[in-house]
Amino acid sequence: MYWEDRLQKMYMAGLNAIQVYIPWNFHELSPGKYNFDGDADLVQFLNLAQKKGLLVVLRPGPYICAEWDLGGLPAWLLKNTSIALRSSDEAYLEAVDTWMGVLLPKIQPLLYQNGGPIITVQMWSSFQLDGAGTGFLKCGTLEGIYATVDFGPGTNVTKAFQAQRVYEPSGPLVNSEFYTGWLDHWGMKHQVTSITAITKTLDELLKIGANVNMYMFEGGTNFGFWNGANGGGDKFNPQPTSYDYNAPLSEAGDPTEKYYAIRDVISRVGKIFDWVVGYFSVRGNSSLTVKYSNYQQSYSTSLNDDVTAFKLAMILDHRLNMATVHSNVTTDNILRCAGYIIPYGPINTTYPITMEQMQQYSGFMLYQTAIPFNVTSPLFLSSTAIRDRAYIMINKVPQGILTRIDNHNMSINATTEGDILDIFVESQGHLNYGPNLADPKGIFGNVTLNGTVLTNWSIYSLDFDRVMPLLLKKRTKYPYINKQKVKDDAPFQVPSFYVGTLPDLAVINPPQDTFLRTTGWTKGQAYINGFNLGRYWPMKGPQVTLYVPASILHASPKINKLLLFELEGAPCSPEQLCTIEFIDRPIINGTVHQKDFIGGKWSNF
C-alpha cells in the first residue's frame, strides 16, 4: 500500500509521530450515507501507523481547512441557505453532533490509553493552534485547552515561544505547524521553501527540546474535485490538483533533498526532543499496491509512448433529450442515451438555483433558458452570481467566459426569440478558509440580458464521477460523435470529451507510477479507467502534469483507457487525433500565465 510506503519513509526520517486530518466530507458524501471503506478506511490507516511504530496526533475537525474543499465540511450543508458554518447555529451543530456520533466511537478504541496510537486530538475540545504572537493567542485561547503556536523557518524561535509562554507558563514548547513548504494556487508561482532555512530553524527547535510538527511532510494529491480555494470578496484563488507542497516527500512519495537534510538534523539531536511529527495527507488511495521499495528509490517510470485520443462528444450533445432519464441504459447505447449523464432532471425553475440546492456538490452544471424576445440591438449578458467559471453559448455557438471575480459581463450574438442560451458552469472548489466559507456553487442569483432578468431555467445536474467509469467500460473504439468545426476566433471550443487507449504496459509489468503531461491542452478534467485524476490547467500553471498512481493502471493485456473532458480547447481539430504524453517526472513549476484572453479582454481567472 502507498500508505504503508509513506509511513515507513516518515519513520525512517526519524519521526516518532504523524498528524493526520479527517475530512468529514470525504466520509459523508451525502447526509447519513457514510463511507469508511477503501480510501476512506480510517481505522486501517491508524492501525497501520501504529504497526510502523508511529504515534498519531489526530485532527478530526469537523473543520480542518487543509486546502481541502470547504475545509472538510460537507457541501450539502449549504443546501440550507441560512446556515452559519463554524458557529453555534443549531442547524450546523446538529449536523456536527450527528457526524461526531458516528466518528468518535471509531476513534475511542484507538486512543493511547486504550492501546492505540492516538496520543492527542487537536480539535475544538483539545489543544489548539494559533499564530506565534500574543495577538493571535489573545482571542484564540480557551480555558482548559493547551495553547500552541505555529511558525515557519527563519522565525525568531525564542520570541515565538515567548508568546506561547504568556498563555502557557509551563508545559511543553510546541510548534504545531512548522512549515516545510507552502501551498500553490492556479496562476501563481510554485512555492518553494529553502532547505537551509528549514534545517537551521529545525536544529534550533530540537536543541531547546521543543516539540515540532512539520507541515507538510507528505503532501499528496487533490484527486477528483477535492481541492479547496482561498479568497472571498474580490479574490478567489483555487488550489491545483497537486498538493506536493514542496514537502520532504514528494507527491509521488519520492524522498527529496529536503527529506535527507531533515533526517540528518533529527539524527544529530533527535534524542533531546519529546516528539517530532510530520503531517500526513490521506489524499492518496489505500488500495495502491506496489512492489515495496526502500525510501531511496523512485517509483516513476515513463510509458515511453504518446497516447492518441479521439474526440468523443461535446457536452451539448449529451444535453439532448435529457428530460428523459432512461432506466435501461447499457454500455452499447450510452452514447445515444444522453440522459445517463444526469441522475435526474432537468429541474425547471423560475430563477437559477445553486449546485447544492440541486444536491450536487462538485464538478459542473448546465443552465439553459430561451432568449425571451426578438433582438433589435446588441445583447449584453451580465451576472455577478457565477461560481466559479461559466461558458456561455447561444445555439451551441461559444460566446465567451464569465468568471466570479472580474469578468461579469459580455456581448452575445442572438437574433431571434427562442434562441437557446446555455451556461455551463464549473465549480473550481469551495473556499476552505476565512469568514466566507458559505460559498455556494453554480449560479446563485440573477442573470440579466440588456437589463432584463432571465427566467424559466432548465438546470441539469451532471454526475461525471458516476458516468465516466461506465462511459469507458468495455469499449475499445470510439466514433466521432460530433465534428462541428470551431471558428478560429471563437473564445473557446464547446466543452468536449476526448478518449484514448494507453500503450501496452507489458514492457513494464506490473505498471509503475507515471505523470500525465497536459501541455497543449487548455483546461479540464482527466480520468484513467474511470478514476478522476483531477483538474488540469497548463495554460494557467504552475502545474502541468497529473500524478498517475500505478494502482489505477491495468497490467497487460488489459486495456487502459484515458478520458479528458476539455473545457476550452484541445490541441487538435475535430478531424485529427490528439496526443497525450506520459512522462517519468512531475512538472508542477511550469510557466505561469497570469492572464487569460476571455470574452474579448485580458482577465484574471
Q: In one letter, which amino acid is 413?
A: N
Is 566's pLDDT higher than 80? yes
Q: Higher model confidence: residue 327 or residue 301?
A: 301
Residue (of 468, 496, 462) closest to 562 by Cα position: 468
Instruction: Provide the residue type at 553 as one letter.
Output: L
Contact 400, 392 (CB under 8 A): yes
Percent of the chain with pLDDT over 90: 61
**Coil, strand, or helix at residue 338?**
helix
> What is the C-alpha separation between 147 and 548, in angstroms, rounded?
40
Domain 344-462 has CATH 2.60.120.260: yes
Residue 108 has pLDDT above 80, yes or no: yes
Report which secondary-structure segment, H or E, holds 48: helix 42-51
Residue 477 has pLDDT above 70, yes or no: no
Taking residues 409-420, what's their average pLDDT?
92
| Per-residue pLDDT at 490 exceeds 80 | yes
Give residue-wise pLDDT tens across range 385-414.
Answer: 999 999 999 999 999 999 999 899 999 998
Q: Which pLDDT band holds residue 536 (cuts at 50, 70, 90)?
A: very high
Is a pLDDT exceeding 60 seen at residue 376? yes
pLDDT tens digits along 244-271: 999 999 999 999 999 999 999 999 886 5
8 Å CB contact between 475 and 529: no
Give CATH for domain 286-330+464-604. Answer: 2.60.120
Residue 480 banded pLDDT, cuts 50, 70, 90: very low
Considering only 278-282, 322-326, 529-533, which range has the smallest mean pLDDT? Answer: 322-326
How far, rounded to the nearest angstrom, does the alpha carbon of residue 212 sit from its chain's CA centroid?
27
pTM assigned to the model:
0.89
Residue 184's pLDDT is: 97
Distance CA 578, CA 585 (A): 22
pLDDT per position as a tens digit, 194-212: 999 999 999 999 999 999 9
**pLDDT tens-digit series, residues 147-191:** 889 999 999 999 999 999 988 999 999 999 999 999 999 999 999
3 state DSSP class of 258? helix
Average pLDDT, the chain: 83
pLDDT (0 to 100) of residue 126: 39
d(CA 551, CA 295): 19
DSSP letter at 202 equals H
Task: Return residue ranges of the chain for CATH 2.60.120.260.
Answer: 344-462
Q: Which of 12, 14, 63, 10 is nearest to 437 (CA)?
A: 63
CB 180 within 8 Å of CB 597: no
Check residue 231 and report its DSSP letter.
Answer: E
Cβ-contact 286, 38 below 8 angstroms: yes
Tell me what the mean pLDDT of segment 288-313 comes to: 43
Q: Note the Cα 183 to chain centre separation in Å.
A: 12
> What's the grid cell of residue 416?
431571434
Average pLDDT over residues 21-33: 96
For residues 189-207, b (16+ Cβ closer than 10 Å) or e, as one string?
Answer: ebbebebeebbebbebbbe
Mean pLDDT value of segment 134-139? 67
CATH class for domain 2-267?
Answer: alpha beta
Decide if pLDDT at 595 tops 80: no
